[in-house]
Structure 1
């Protein structure tokens, strides 16, 4: 049964909130914790687990996009109605901003916290963890988003095993972060990038354009190529464990 738009956007808000709180929270609060920090691997796992867990929780409501690039990819691929694009994206961005606000409040409780440390914002050039150039960062974000959205499209295809989609999607996001954290801190998600950038301001806002442009381009490319790869477009599927609506 099709859920109302209000319920679906509420689920997208909640899912994106959890993604940003879990993923960015692990980067800000736990990545470099003295002696017992979780490091890049832990942050990558946190992003993947946040998507996996919330996809099982609300995937049957909204499809568990939690990411404008995923929504664009599904729309371009003919599996999501264009009329719902803006409400989904607004809900995702709102969830990311609220999560970043709560994370800022928590992190500010430590005397050693400073927004100048980056607050898990995405960046290129001087603000890339590894000093990667704008062009290298652009290519990385397009390609990594393309791969992630391809996995999403394949895992939610009705021809794939039903009920397991959150697992490959979560693992794909983990893999994306293992590859890309040194390059840009990894976006592949404009909403995830927007939340922290609004609090950091300055350079983070001035570079935010790339973390909208590149993921949306990568997601749209996946939406174009996936139907060409697999043939006729299937009936729309979700990541829900028991639903194929």
Structure 2
């Protein structure tokens, strides 16, 4: 597949993930039907369904990583070249930033809009953020859940796995992760997903961004190093 097409697909897929997932957290979490809107379950499913639909839409083109932690883990596992990894990560970050920009334009159209702390679905931790969990909980959650997420990805894309079910299994696993981790960090497991909203929200979202870059990448690398214990290429 043409390299430019793969990079464009990764940017588009990440754009969709951030727009749908963070859009659900920002806009659909408050609705006319009540203050809870779609709630934690709805937001979790929005992120999971986003991965499912994009996996089938762009998976044949780029593999649908739409996550720098996945691309870097694939590099460590020997499944992606260094050149493609750089292109994937840059494209993913651009897609996430563009999606956050569109989301900002949508959200700011509401009467009386002001950017809240950790706005646009930004990830974070500590006093004032969702469940008020501390940094240790945030570190553990992002590392462990990214590690498990990558093991699912490696397992469902192994040679003996069913390729038709991979997108569904990966999307369901991401939804499950969100169901548990949203109160802790808002759930990142994806540095690009965290970068886009943080750039527009600023404040604590930007100051805490490092954790959502370093920790998911570390979890992904760890998964790549242990995958050979039970997964065959």
- Superposition TM-score, scaled by structure 2 size: 0.96
1:7-26 CA-to-partner distances (Å, cap 9, x unmatched) read 10000000000000000000
- Return the offset for 1:113: 3.0
What does 1:130-169 align with in structure 2 at a 5 Å threshold?
130-169=131-170
Match in the other structure for 2:44: 44
Q: Structure 1 residues 127, 187: CA separation in 2 closer, same or farther (over 3 Å shift)? A: farther
Paired positions, count: 230
Runs of 5+ consecutive residues of structure 2 not aligned to the other structure:
none
The partner residue of 1:7 within 2, 5, 12 is: 5
User: Once superposed, what is the RMSD of the aligned Cα atoms?
Assistant: 1.1
Match in the other structure for 1:205: 206
What does 1:68-79 align with in structure 2 at a 5 Å threshold?
68-79=68-79
Match in the other structure for 2:183: 182
1:140-185 CA-to-partner distances (Å, cap 9, x unmatched) read 0000111111111111112101211100000000001001000000
Runs of 5+ consecutive residues of structure 1 not aligned to the other structure:
235-245
Asked if the contact 1:19/1:47 (under 8 Å) is kept, the reply is yes
Match in the other structure for 1:30: 28
- Superposition TM-score, scaled by structure 1 size: 0.91
Moved more, 127-136 or 108-117: 108-117
Asked if the contact 1:65/1:71 (under 8 Å) is kept, the reply is yes
The whole-number CA distance in structure 1 between the counterparts of 2:155 and 2:74 is 11
The whole-number CA distance in structure 2 between the counterparts of 1:187 and 1:71 is 15
Asked if the contact 2:103/2:120 (under 8 Å) is kept, the reply is no
